[in-house]
Structure 1
Amino acid sequence: MTRLPMQIQLAQNKKEKPDPSTLVFGKSFTDHMLIIDYEEGKGWHNHRITPYAPLTLDPAAIVLHYGQTVFEGMKAYRSEEGTIRLFRPDQNMKRLNYSLDRLCMPRIDEENALYALNQLLQIEQEWIPTLEGTSLYIRPFVIATEAFLGVAPAKSYQFYMILSPVGSYYKEGIHPVKILVENEFVRAAKGGTGSAKTAGNYASALKAQETADKQGYSQVLWLDSVERKYVEEVGSMNIFFKINGEVVTPAINGSILEGITRKSILQLLRHWNMPVAERQISMDEIRSAYESGELEEVFGTGTAAVISPVGELNWDGYKMIIANGQTGELSTRLYDTLTNIQTGKEKDPFDWVYEIKKHVAKLA
């Protein structure tokens, strides 16, 4: 692979780094960002790392009118030995290209994108917090920049990466969250953009989330768009149910985002020889399992929260208190194992972790 030239402009005035013990999710940003331009006929070019700054866009930029944009979410960790570690970044880049295809946007070179991220992380490595439960969140995103009010794919784009030191995604941390099952609105339908990581999916979820917030619930659980009875996913997570010893999660069906953490959890559970099923699951089945005492645990999975145990499900006013509102044994084991692999406290039997230190020679 040909390494594309990278221009680097270092910030003259560095920001004060936040106290790691007070970090929240997505409020603080590092000193630098990555930008790559795209023009039809020229391809991706002008790779550069610049000081973090506001963007300049034409008011007619297609992203502002027709939502032609996709993004990813990743994290960097600092191991006890001081290495910078990424968790399955190749999978994020593959999913980014899947989303780009769905939105009629130009694919990126996955290896060059990771190479650029290597350089950005080496510049910003002092921003990676080391306090338990913290990390450096990585947000790659692509936007359509062509100034044109016609409904058509843009001919120019920009690819960015920004970094944010973060604490827990939920204020509850690893403690159980309360989730409201959404009965009125839908997030996505088969054939739509639900399987792509695009901004419109999240904007369409805000109304339901607003209702959930007012009722004291952290997130919304979406149901299918046709029968409104089959479980799909939570707003920012895939969802798992432990029923009578078996772990069940909705099958990928064209309207559910295929999470990297979801994929990893399934692999980990099978490695432990636990019964696992990816299939259609209805709220009626969940309620029946709850009433019979077979619903043992519920938890969400995602890059931001890693594992988030669910302590309560509210389905049309019927409240199900899961595991007495406590964090379940399996949720705890999964969270500990996955975060220990990510930070180097446990061996990585799956070759999931990508260490920046091992690739320094490639940056020359």
Structure 2
Amino acid sequence: MTMIEIKIELTTNKKDKPTINKLGFGQFYTDHMFILDYIEGKGWHDPRIIPYQSISLDPAAKVFHYSQTVFEGLKAYLTVDKRVRLFRPESNFKRLNISNERLCIPSINEEHALEALKQLITVDGEWIPNEPGTSLYIRPFIIATDPYLGVSSSKSFQFIIIMSPVGSYYKEGIKPVKILVEQHYVRAVVGGTGGAKTGGNYASSLKGQEIASKEGYSQTLWLDGKEKRYVEEVGSMNIFFKINGTVVTPALNGSILPGITRDSMIQLLKSKNIPVEERRISIDEVIEAYHNRTLEEAFGTGTAAVISPIGELKWKNEKVIVNNGEIGEVTQMLYDTLIGIQNGSLEDPFGWTIML
């Protein structure tokens, strides 16, 4: 492995840290950030850690006009013995490069990116909260900075990492959420950018989220973009159903984000000898399972919440109540196990975690 030399400029004006009860999610940011520049012909260069600050871009920068950008989300945790632990960061940087390929962004050196992250965490390690359910959320992202309005790939980019101390995703413990199945709009189609983690996917999902919120639902369940029949994902999460003893999740088809938490859950289920299938599943199959009382549990998975149990789905004019609106046994087990691995209270038989 070739080493990366990172210039470090420490802040002379440290910010006050928020109290635990005010953390929320993504509202506060640590004292420093990492930046790496790219110019065509020179490649990625000038890695540096600097005080957290605004960035200056030309109004014509391509990121503003053509959404040439990708991002990731991961977390650092304080373990029960006060050590810093990362969860599957190599998978995040690998997925970032997959997104880069789809958005015509030059690939990054994944080992260098991980080393940069480790150094940034070392500099701002005091920002990691130590209460149960809290963590340091990490947002690596790449933006196109070329000031040219022609529709073409940018010739310059910036790779930036910022970090935010976050509280528990749930204010009063892990509670089932209500999900509205979207009938009109679609999030992505096969051949599009649904399998990449890019800002445009999330912008196109906002309308569905707005509609769901107005009806009193937490998030939107998206169906496929061609037939509007097959289940894809929920807002910023992948989705799972437990039907007649088997856990089913939509197979990755190019329009569904390959979630790292999703993959972790599949591995956990297999390790517990719980049947799990990755396949196409229609909303009609879900509704039928509800009617014949074989729909036992439903949950979404993602970095922010780990697991969001689903207590209700609304499809057209029908409300589908899952497990009496309560968290299911398998859902609870998966949540407890993954949280335990992440915070070090349980062993990590999968080799998912990295200690700093």
Task: Give the TM-score normalised by the residue count of structure 1.
Answer: 0.96
8 Å Cα contact 1:62/1:68 also seen in 2: yes
- CA-CA distance at 1:215 after TM superposition: 1.1
Is the aligned partner of 1:88 residue 2:88?
Answer: yes
Equivalent in the alignment of 1:361: none
Is the aligned partner of 1:26 residue 2:26?
Answer: yes
SS of equivalent to 1:138: strand
CA distance in 2, matches of 1:199, 1:265: 25
Equivalent in the alignment of 1:359: none
Equivalent in the alignment of 1:41: 41
Aligned length: 356
Equivalent in the alignment of 1:297: 297
Runs of 4+ in structure 1 displaced over 3 angstroms? Answer: 168-173
8 Å Cα contact 1:21/1:131 also seen in 2: no
Equivalent in the alignment of 1:8: 8
Structure 2's unaligned 5+ residue stretches are: none
SS of equivalent to 2:262: helix
| Identity within the alignment, % | 63
8 Å Cα contact 2:36/2:48 also seen in 1: yes
CA distance in 2, matches of 1:190, 1:131: 41
Q: Which amino acid aligns with 1:328?
A: G
CA distance in 2, matches of 1:132, 1:217: 27
8 Å Cα contact 2:231/2:250 also seen in 1: yes
Q: Which amino acid aligns with 2:192?
A: G
CA distance in 2, matches of 1:246, 1:315: 22
Equivalent in the alignment of 2:69: 69
Is the aligned partner of 1:335 residue 2:335?
Answer: yes
Q: Which amino acid aligns with 1:260?
A: I
SS of equivalent to 1:98: helix
Q: 1:1-364, aligned counterparts within 5 Å?
A: 1-169=1-169, 171=171, 173-356=173-356
CA distance in 2, matches of 1:168, 1:226: 37
Q: Which amino acid aligns with 2:302?
A: G
SS of equivalent to 1:204: helix
CA distance in 2, matches of 1:250, 1:173: 27
8 Å Cα contact 2:4/2:115 also seen in 1: no
Deviation per residue, 1:290-343 (Å, 9 max, x gap): 111111100000111101100110111210111111111111110000000001
- CA-CA distance at 1:112 after TM superposition: 0.3
- CA-CA distance at 1:174 after TM superposition: 1.4
CA distance in 1, matches of 2:118, 2:317: 48
- CA-CA distance at 1:3 after TM superposition: 1.4
CA distance in 2, matches of 1:170, 1:184: 30
SS of equivalent to 2:29: coil
- CA-CA distance at 1:173 after TM superposition: 4.8
- CA-CA distance at 1:63 after TM superposition: 0.4
SS of equivalent to 2:115: helix
CA distance in 2, matches of 1:206, 1:250: 22
Name the Cα RMSD after superposition: 0.9
Q: Which amino acid aligns with 1:212?
A: A
Q: Which amino acid aligns with 1:335?
A: Y
- CA-CA distance at 1:169 after TM superposition: 3.5
8 Å Cα contact 2:340/2:346 also seen in 1: yes
8 Å Cα contact 2:98/2:196 also seen in 1: yes
Q: Which amino acid aligns with 2:273?
A: N
Deviation per residue, 1:102-151 (Å, 9 max, x gap): 00000000000000000000111111111111110000000000100000
SS of equivalent to 2:217: coil
Deviation per residue, 1:45-68 (Å, 9 max, x gap): 110001111110000000000000
Q: Which amino acid aligns with 1:283?
A: I
Change (3 A) 1:254 1:173: farther
Task: Give the TM-score normalised by the residue count of structure 2.
Answer: 0.99
SS of equivalent to 2:324: helix
Structure 1's unaligned 5+ residue stretches are: 357-364
